[in-house]
Amino acid sequence: MSDSAHRAPDSVSVSVSDVTVWSLEQTSPADLSPAAAPADGVTVARSGTPLPEFSRFLYTAVGGDVRWTDRLGLTYAQWREILERPGAETWVAYENGTPAGFIELDAQEGGAVEIAYFGLIPAFRGRRIGGHLLSYGVARAWDLAERHPGRKPTERVWVHTCSNDGPHAMDNYLRRGFRLFDTKTEQEPEVASPGPWPGAHA
Dump pLDDT digits (tens) for 88-98: 999 999 999 99
Please, what is the average pLDDT of the chain? 87
Supply the pLDDT for residue 90: 98
Residues 6+ apart with CB under 8 A from 155: 27, 110, 111, 112
- % pLDDT > 90, the chain: 68
Chain-centre distance of CA 8, in angstroms? 24
Please state whether beta strands 156-162 and 179-189 pair in parallel, antiparallel, or not at all (unpaired): unpaired
- Compute φ and ψ for 194, nearest 5 degrees: -80, -15
Domains of the chain: 19-189 (3.40.630.30)
Q: What is the mean pLDDT of residues 131-140?
A: 97
- Compute φ and ψ for 130, nearest 5 degrees: -65, -45
Dump pLDDT digits (tens) for 153-174: 999 999 999 877 777 888 999 9
Q: What is the mean pLDDT of residues 105-109?
A: 96
- Compute φ and ψ for 163, nearest 5 degrees: -70, -10
Cα 25 to Cα 113: distance, rounded to the nearest angstrom: 10
Supply the pLDDT for residue 2: 45
Which residue, 142, 169, 164, 167, is CA-closest to 153? Answer: 142
Q: Which residue has the higher pLDDT, 44 or 201?
A: 44
Residues 6+ apart with CB under 8 A from 200: 61, 64, 194
